[in-house]
A and B are shown apart, each in its own frame.
Chain A
Amino acid sequence: MYLLGRLGDMDEAAILDWVLRCQHPNGGFGGSERNDPHMLYTLSAVQILALYDKLELVDADRVAAYVAGLQQPDGSFAGDAWGEIDTRFSYCALLCLSILGRTSLINVPKALDFISSCKNFDGGFGCTPGNESHAGQVFTCIGALALADALHLVDRDLFCWWLCERQTSGGGLNGRPEKLQDVCYSWWCLSCLSILDRLHWIDRPALTRFILDCQDEEDGGISDRPDDMADVYHTFFGIAGLSLMGYPGLQAIDPAWALPVEVVARIKRRNAASTVGAEAEVQAHAVGAAAAAES
């Protein structure tokens, strides 16, 4: 809705109130009030708060501690206490902590080592080491590397060639070789190409036509393929893909943060201000301590 310039069409107070009710005492958020806390929903909650510029409604230290607590000795992240390991959770952790300005709570080099260990011979990435490259998964890995300023770990030409090979003759993108095109990959693949500065390697007019062909003429939603039933999931990925290609009338989206560029800029200003504040505090403390020592 933000990308469409229509965030105001929804009941902000009710949404925020409900999101906050999904939080657990350990800082994590569940998918609903009754669900256990989970990395996926913790990130969603933080993203929603960021979209509304209401990050101050949560105790960032507590949320960040929950996320950091899911890091494993090998650098990977579990989704929750149940222990599923997946590079998706590495991205969720890095993004969540980046939004909260608290990446220092985790071992970033180890997190990067794990992502690197999931890199395959085709330049892409899978869920865990050895798993096949998958376009959804590569987004999470490239996004995580971008957030950690570690894109040097990507085999850029090989990987981007794999990405642009995902475009089929119908203009849409698929997620793996010989699979069907699907609107959701407009985001997964395109965001990576955008992060790696290779958006021009695919045929953008053909992809734009494909996404628009998937829009339901009556209800406005976007489906996975032309003539299928539209849903919220594919509507978001279609709009986000169009936004990355600079489609008129849409707000720009940041490919690594998966948030509007404006919101990312606001987050960065907020974090920079709090860092300056914290530094000033440390400095004041040091000055005070020195003065105390002198007296």
Chain B
Amino acid sequence: MSAAGSQPAGGAAAPAPPGPPLPYAQRPDWADVTPVHIPEEAVVAIQYTAEHSDALGYFRAVVRSGELSPRVLALTADMIRFNQADYTAWRVRWRCVQALGPEALASELDFTHAVMLENAKNYQLWNHRRLCALQLGAACADREDAFTREAIAFDEKNYHAWAHRQAVVRVSGRWAAELAFAAELIERDVRNNTAWNQRMFCLQHMPREGADDAAWLRRELEYVAGAIAKAPRNEAPWRYLTGLFATLQPWAGQPRALSTFPDVHQICQEALQECPACAPALDVMAAYYEGLAALGVARAQQQLAAAGGAPGAGPVQGAVAGVLHAVAAANSALEEAGLADPMRAPYWFHRMRGLTPLQAQAEALLA
């Protein structure tokens, strides 16, 4: 065997040697297994270490025999230590855990913790941990909170850790605590888009306090305004702001709900006072006016119908004037955005072109 002789040989009866572990080929408890070795590959030869190659021979053998036992569990730990992305080793490990019962499941939490400390961005690790956590059910919540906090303390945007928290909170139902966690991380770094996403995720699932939706939304907008005041160009809260209207009911089901909240206009204005060339503020400002224009066109059309189709009627003219004013305001916000952010000039131009139909519809009402 390729690994034989690479380690100092120790007697079977000797106490656990302090040095490196024995190769599998020399372990008495593996003597009944014949390792399976595959000839070297010419196309994509993998440079296995002697230790890895030794363990791999035994791993292939147990995959073939289908053995699920404590020693196979220990073997998979070695395999994963050699290569954390070895999805076959992880899968065999999970099958062992299931076969060995609740104690094995509990000790997986320590095992995955140790792996996470080495590499917190490994896909297999997080899938395995999720399988374990979900099998433990709601009782896992505290431990998973601590586990993910550790990963997130190291990398505040660790995608896997935040996704894991989502999976856990769906089971535990601790929505208020999750919202508080997202707020805590936003407080720590207002630019953490992952934390903003988590906040939206919570709001989509948790019951809303109080009966007055509009009052609730205004409080949420105050929160957003506070974050924008800290860093006006920060993309995350601006997307979150427009996302509130696009995602949450009842606003998502209403036409142009964003433009029915003057708070939005105020947030943009305050940001622009602080930072005049703030592209995201100009973007939302333009969206606000564009929405006002669209709502105005609808209103003017209703008034025209009410006036029996007479375009000269006073209310129709007033509504049309309002639309044209809103279109002009949206246009000027977009022009400024194009100057503030020339790299994305084609986008700003596209947005301006989107205003043309609104203007044409309004003018047609006067004809």
Contact = CB atoms under 8 A, between A and B. Distances in A.
Q: Do A and B bind each other?
A: yes
Contact of B240 (A18, A121, A169): A121
Interface string B204-245: 100000000000000000000000000000111001101110
Interface string B52-85: 0000100010010000000000000000000000
A206 B344 CA distance: 12
A18 B343 contact: no
A130 interface: yes
Contacts of A36: 87-88, 91
B46 interface: yes
B246 A121 contact: yes
B46 A121 contact: no
Interface stretch (B37-45, B304-312, B314-322): B37-45
Contact of B38 (A30, A31, A33, A134): A33
Nearest to B160: A127
5 contacts: A34-B60, A35-B86, A121-B242, A128-B166, A203-B343
A153 interface: no
A121 B200 contact: yes
Interface stretch (B102-110, B186-194, B358-366): B186-194
A106 interface: no
Interface string A1-37: 0000000000100110110000000000011111110
Interface in A27-55: 30-36, 38
B106 to A, nearest CB: 20
B172 interface: no
A203 B63 CA distance: 52
A231 interface: no
A122 B243 CA distance: 6
B46 A32 contact: yes
A157 B44 contact: no
B310 to A, nearest CB: 36
Given A84-B127, A121-B200, A18 B44 contact: yes
Given A11-B43, A164-B344, A178 B193 contact: yes
B250 to A, nearest CB: 16
Nearest to A30: B88
Contact of A162 (B44, B90, B234, B239): B239
